[in-house]
Structure 1
Amino acid sequence: MTVPGWPTVFRGSDAVAAGLVTWARLLGPGFERLLPDTYAAAGHESGLLLRSVAASRWSRGRGVLSGYSAAEVQEASCGPLGAPAEITVAEHVLRSRAGVTVRRGELHPDEVTMVDGLLVTTPLRTAFDLGRRLEFVEAVVAVDALARVHRFPPDLLLGVAVRYPRRRGVSRLTDVLSAADARSSSPPETRLRLVLTGAGLPRPAVQHPVLDDDRRRAVWLDLAYPRHRLGIEYDGGDHLDPKQVVKDIERHTRLAAAGWRVLRYTARDIRRDPGRIVREVGAALTQPAAG
């Protein structure tokens, strides 16, 4: 007897019936109960991916992973810390419970795919659901992430909208798509871009190349105002690594030599002081470009 997910995330009763484990051992320190009759081997990293896989096992194929869960499974993570797993069902066959949100909704066959043995809404349908349901900034973040990873133009979501014209939030999807950009390399980079445009600053170019003639290669800027030779960068935690610090110094030197100014911001800046970002970028845009 094959037990789906064994020994990572699995149905306990199936594993016991297959003789893979006893109930006594299953209830011991070697395993963790995630949902009714759904267990994971102890020591696995907790997070939305684990919760989502557990929710799928728990549903026994009666639901399809959707929303943030679908994005997570499809390597386009964009959900907040602690986000519950999400499953969409056609009928009232499951109820929401702690850690799992169950939604009832119609899914066409071409909107469902299989990823590692799990039923999941397609990237396009996932982006449609998140794009119409979330508040504006997080909706754009989700559409950017899915469009980048799965390489589709955000405007394709309009085709899904035609299929569901009366779904809640569809009317504001056009605004979300007008702000989306599949070139954005990360959710924080999208948030940084929206801090600028939300304050009325011009829309920056995304992933702008600055040619380095000496090395015959390009230096890519997260965001840029080419006419002003102004770059805007998001610095994540990886920029604290000593090797990355050296690369950043070299990169900054090459950009400065090419006449570019670069402003760098962190997730803390975006979250706690977006007004300062707007003031600094706005002031830089009033200054003449070097050279």
Structure 2
Amino acid sequence: MLGTSCRGQGDTGGGRRGALMYRGGEIDRQVSDTWTPPGRLTATGAPVDRETAGYTEVNGLWVPTGALRDDDDVARGRRSHPRGIGYRLDALTRARILAGRHPDWVLSGWSAADVWGLPWFCDDADTCAVAPVTPRLARDAADCTVRRRTPALAGVATVAVDPLCPSLRITPPVLTVIHCLQSVWRGDHRWDVPGGTGLSDRGLRAVQTVDALCTLFGVAPAALQEACRDQFRAAVLRRILAVADQGTDSPMETVMRLKVSGILRTLVDRGALADLPDLTAQLVVHADGTTSDPVHTGITGAGRIVARLDLGMGSLRLGLQYDGSGHLMKEQRDRDSRVTAELANLDWHTLRLTFGHLTDDGLLWKTVTDGIRLCLSRL
């Protein structure tokens, strides 16, 4: 089980941190060649110091009204935050405010991840920076979590990607992954996670973090073993990366993959399955019935795409889709219905799972095993 501690470059204790090497440069260069700035960098205006239409005053500064978070989301984040802090402003706006006040600081961790385009976890996390000051954890929503700018950190090239805030500089991709992972492992950032995956809560959060950032950057988790080895305990990192996947579109898809993988292993152990079926994230099904795995192989296949399955078992022709709240919208429901029907006509059986399935292990077991039984009967 993922549950032991690690030492990282940003830890507050003594040691040889200044001598540690940053090994993520090659991956950073690869990401820079393919990364597209998220539209939200220009969709959300930067804070200003005077009254402006569409802006709201917060602590003497005018911020875009759209940067104010829903009260329920703020309360939910406060409940899971390790120090009970709830953030009314989104992570991007807080990062821009900090960059305006301290243009020589570098936004890191969850703040950097948010600017890079990570859609999960960031708004409830502390504003994070690397600076030539004493390290500290944020004390309230107006404060920030700071790690000391060691010689090793000072030698890592930073990035400026925000067109509305030129002073905002962030850590490069691999260092952002390292800092986010360290934050989760130390317990500096938490969010609610369901049980039943076979991992500890922080182990699951660590896998969700790696899944989300690898998907964002288009990086295979295995590549992080060498890139992060001087900043995170190798044995722990190896266990995290062994169950991570770059083809995961949401944190709950990570949960679904881990739980379904556990069900498959149990079925093999019990003799209900002779071998573990292939289980592929983002498996593509084409109109001619063929499949391809562009995320993991880089091969896109040919012909019209019918569906990109959140999880697919090609040998059983069984697909699993996680339907979050976005699937409740009429347009999405109509599209889901068309895709499910077309898959059925290609002899694919599709299981559409919801949050209720992933928080009720008995329901999930019955749903998945019944689906496997049906698919086996068709072979």
Interval containing the TM-score (normalised by the shorter chain): 0.7 to 0.9
Q: How far off its partner does 1:232 sit?
A: 0.8
What is the TM-score with the length of structure 1 in the denominator?
0.77
Asked which structure has the greater RCO (Cα within 8 Å, sep 6+), the reply is 2
| Gap runs ≥5 in structure 1 | 13-20
Rate the CA distance shift 1:44–1:247 in 2: closer, same or farther, 3 A.
closer
* More strand as a share of residues: 1
Say if 1:50 and 1:267 are closer, same or farther in 2 by CA, change over 3 A: farther
Counterpart of 1:86 (choices 120, 128, 133) is 128
Please give the alpha-carbon distance, in whole angstroms, between the structure 1 residues aligned to 2:175 and 2:242: 18
Q: Is the CA contact (8 Å cut-off) linking 1:133 and 1:139 kept in structure 2?
A: no
* TM-score normalised over the length of structure 2: 0.61
Map of 2:309 onto structure 1: 221
Conserved 8 A contact 1:259-1:289? no
Q: Which amino acid is 1:65 matched to?
A: L
Query: Which residue in 2 is equivalent to 1:120?
Result: 170
Shift of the alpha carbon at 1:51?
2.5
**Among candidates 26, 29, 32, match of residue 57 of structure 2:** 32
Equivalent residue for 1:197? 261
| Pair 90,175 (structure 1): closer, same or farther in 2 beyond 3 Å | farther
From 99, 109, 113, give the equivalent of 1:71: 113
Q: Give the SS at the match of 1:41.
A: strand
Percent identity over paired residues: 25
Please give the alpha-carbon distance, in whole angstroms, between the structure 2 residues aligned to 1:247 and 1:86.
39
Shift of 1:249: 1.3
1:264 and 2:328 aligned: no
Q: Per the alignment, do residues 32 and 260 of structure 1 end up closer, same or farther by CA in structure 2, a change over 3 Å counting?
A: same
User: Per-residue deviation at 1:187?
Assistant: 2.5
Moved over 6 A (4+): none
Aligned twin of 2:372? 285
Structure 1 CA distance for aligned equivalents of residues 62 and 218 of structure 2: 33
Question: Is residue 147 of structure 2 the alignment partner of residue 147 of structure 1?
Answer: no
Alpha-carbon RMSD: 3.1
Number of residues of Structure 1 aligned to a counterpart in Structure 2:
264
**Contact 1:31/1:42 (CA < 8 Å) preserved in 2?**
yes
Structure 2 residue ranges without an equivalent (≥5): 1-41, 69-89, 185-201, 266-275, 290-301
Superposed CA offset, 1:124-149 (max 9, x none)? 11112223442222222222222222
CA distance, structure 2, for counterparts of residue 121 and residue 237 of structure 1: 32
Distance 1:146 1:275 in 2: 31
For 2:154 and 2:244, the matched residues in 1 are separated by 25
